[in-house]
Amino acid sequence: HGTPDHRIALIPGDGIGTEVIPAARRVLDAVAVRHRLSLTYDTFDWSCARYLRDGAMMPEDGLETLRGYDAILLGAVGSPEVPDHVSLWGLLIPIRRGFQQYVNLRPVRVFEGVPSPVRGAEPGAVDFVVVRENVEGEYGEIGGRLNRGLPGELAVQEAVFTRTGVSRIVDYAFTLAGRRGGTLTSATKSNGIIHTMPFWDEIVAEHAAGHPQVAWHQEHIDALAAKFVLDPARFDVVVASNLFGDILSDLAAAVAGSIGIAPAANLNPERVFPSMFEPVHGSAPDIAGRGIANPLGAIWSAAMMLDHLGHAAAATRITDAIAAALATTPVRTPDLGGSATTDAFTDTVISLL
Ligand code: NAI
Ligand code: MG
């Protein structure tokens, strides 16, 4: 082997997570042979199923266990029998925060062969990335509720923006825009949110001065959401706070045609900790167990993982095979209007690598 081993932690999770992760692994193995990569895997059953059995989504030393891996590939967690905040705060958020995965990267492409619900969103023309701040902002734990059940009941939730936190996400986004030879759009709302968002805008402007080759502008989140639908082709890199980025990236996934195809990376750019790669979709209990989940989001996430591990050519080989499968064959899963199984679509991608 020409490259050192990469040790990958697989966390399939619940529902269709347990169907799409094996599919992604099959694609990884096929690419590894062709690019002489050595990938080894350990699979962890951390999930809502484990929570129902053992009372916790993951063991107490779960983060210590994961720390030794080069990357984490996660399916989805969530079960109708477990409140969603348990699955989120019991596994995903501890990993994202504990490993300082402060970049949530979500590429969006309209593929030939997957019609967008948005008129005029042409294949090739829509190809952008949402860079979401992933560890602070609006999703804080500071706040509380008072006078529960009384007429004077109230709830307060603080948004926390730090200079360090905003600077590093904005810097990442400018650097990415520079590397792509593209433009940067900053999502803001400094007309209505009068403390945190002007602070965000100031830091964006400071960083713009350090990246004179990158054209940029800022846009209020409400107008920006409308433009995602009206003119998605104009975007290249979009940087946003945790909440704005969460909403924009789901909207963008819908513009691209299906939640089942959207990938995401949770990156620790300094590589002090492993990064985590996961499809955007959830555990889809409505179709779980039938072998018809679209594995594309998980496969594309695996490609992002290879890219992060330094294997850009292998990653592109996967995304090219995905694009070819959609453009040149009728094989697709039911969410994209086809009748193929998860395995059949995965076989098609592998045959086109
Ligand atoms: P979901 O993404 O699981 O499903 C939404 C709809 O899209 C469903 O109709 C589903 O069948 C369809 N869908 C999703 N992925 C698909 C795929 N790969 N192929 C074909 N169809 C697909 O979102 P939902 O229903 O809101 O949540 C279900 C559970 O998943 C909840 O417990 C939720 O908390 C959890 N969830 C977990 C996430 C994660 O682990 N990162 C993210 C989103 C939701
Ligand atoms: Mg979301």
What pairs with residue 331 in β-bridges?
A: none
Q: Which pLDDT value is given to residue 113?
A: 92
Helix (H) and strand (E) counts in the chain: 12, 12
- Confidence (pLDDT) at 199: 98
CA of 22 to the centre of ligand 1 (A): 17
Atom from ligand 1 closest to the CA of residue 48: 32
Cβ 69 vs Cβ 99: under 8 Å: no
Contacts (Cβ under 8 Å, ≥6 apart) of 343:
23, 291
Q: Angle 276-273-302 (CA atoms, 0-180°, nearest 5)?
A: 25
Ligand 2 centroid–CA 328 distance in Å is: 31
pLDDT of residue 90: 95
Judged by DSSP in three states, 34 sits in: helix
Q: How far is the CA of 270 from the centre of ligand 1 (A)?
A: 30
Tell me which of 259, 277, 339, 342 to substitute to probe ligand 1's pocket, judged by most ligand atoms within 8 Å of the beta carbon: 259
Ligand nearest to the CA of 285: 1
287 Cα nearest atom in ligand 1 = 11
Predicted local confidence at residue 3, as pLDDT? 57
Q: What domains sit in the chain, N to C, each tagged with a CATH number?
A: 1-104+259-353 (3.40.718.10), 116-133+159-256 (3.40.50)
pTM of the model: 0.94
- Compute the distance from residue 286 Cα to the ligand 1 centre, in Å: 9
Nearest residue (by CA) to ligand 1, atom 32, is 78
| Ligand 1: nearest atom to the Cα of 261 | 18
Print pLDDT tens along the chain (353 aa).
Answer: 455 689 999 999 999 999 999 999 999 999 999 999 999 999 999 999 999 999 999 999 999 999 999 999 999 999 999 999 999 999 999 999 999 999 999 999 999 999 888 888 888 889 999 999 999 999 988 999 999 999 999 999 999 999 999 999 999 999 999 999 999 999 999 999 999 999 999 999 999 999 999 999 999 999 999 999 999 999 999 999 999 999 998 899 888 888 899 999 999 999 999 999 999 999 999 999 999 999 999 999 999 999 999 999 999 999 999 999 999 999 999 999 999 999 999 999 999 99
157 CA from centroid of ligand 1 (Å): 27
Q: What is the pLDDT of residue 1?
A: 47
Token readout for 231 is 């003119």
- The DSSP secondary-structure symbol of 43 reads E
Q: Which atom of ligand 1 is nearest to the CA of 84?
A: 34
Identify the pLDDT of residue 33: 96
Residue 140: the pLDDT is 86
Residues having CB within 6 Å of any atom of ligand 1 = 16, 20, 76-78, 84, 87, 92, 259-260, 278, 281-287, 293-294, 297, 333, 335
The CA distance from 97 to 104, in Å, is 12
The DSSP-derived string for 146-158 is ESTTSTT-EEEE-
Report the candidate in 299, 349, 308, 310 with the shortest Cα–Cα distance to residue 25. Answer: 299
**What letter represents residue 97's amino acid?**
R
If you search the block for the tokens 């994209």, which residue do you land on?
A: 336
Ligand nearest to the CA of 284: 1
Containing 5, the helix (H) or strand (E) segment is strand 5-13
Q: What are phi and psi of 10, to 5 degrees?
A: -100, 125
Distance 202 CA to ligand 1 centre (A): 36
Q: How far is the CA of 166 from the centre of ligand 1 (A)?
A: 29
Ligand 1: atom nearest CA of 279 is 41
**Residue of 337, 310, 301, 313 lying closest to 11 (CA atoms):** 301
Pocket probe mutation, ligand 1, options 82, 283, 287, 294, max atoms within 8 Å of Cβ = 283
- Separation between Cα atoms, residue 240 and residue 201, nearest integer Å: 11
Which protein residue has the closest C-alpha to ligand 1 atom 5?
284
Q: Please give the pLDDT value at position 279.
A: 96
